[in-house]
Amino acid sequence: MTHPLSRRRVIGAGGTAAALAVALTPQVSRAQTSPPGGRTGQLITLVTPTRVFDSRTASPAIGGGKISSGSAVGIPVSGGTLDGSGVSVAFVNCTITDTEGSGYLTITQSDLTGELPPPLTSNINWSTSGQTLANLLLTAVGGESTISVACGGNGRTHFIIDLQGYVPIP
């Protein structure tokens, strides 16, 4: 038996979360005859890309300004959903701009309890000052429908988070 996704076209560089979700949605719908929790209907909700955070314009009180190594910011993503519902998984595009030095950002579910160890991976990296880079990613969403953006390395940067789609809390 072939894997259901093996027949799907791979979306390369320049693909969007919407294209990825559209490519995956029919396979997910057919693969799950009985969705978890008895849910019916669409599993992935696509949205018009919605800016949920921009450190260039946000108040310092909520994490505005450049993020530097050793810092983390909690970003609520439910405000970008169609109905303000809770989010369990988010498709987000993270853009970094006006970088200084070198470093990386790790985007994960927020951990309101402080019990989860930090991941050993990064989602977007920069190697020199003055770069602007973007990366589309899929992440679990933590308490209060928030994600955590943490900075490591030896630099700092502005960052922007745009919600592309989500899986609502069942």
* The two structure tokens encoding residue 2: 């072939």
Distance of CA 123 to the CA centre of its chain: 9
Q: Tell me which of 25-29, 73-77, 124-128 is least confident.
A: 25-29
Round to whole Å and give the CA distance between 48 and 163: 8
Round to whole Å and give the CA distance between 117 and 137: 20
Q: What is the pTM of this model?
A: 0.74
**Using an 8 Å Cβ cutoff, are 163 and 47 in contact?**
yes
Q: pLDDT for 40-68, tens place per residue?
A: 555 888 889 999 999 999 999 999 999 99
Domain positions in the chain: 41-168
Residue 15, classed as helix, strand or coil, is: coil
Round to whole Å and give the CA distance between 109 and 54: 18
Say if domain 41-168 classifies as CATH 2.60.120.
yes
Handedness of CA 156, 114, 124, 134 (dihedral sign): negative
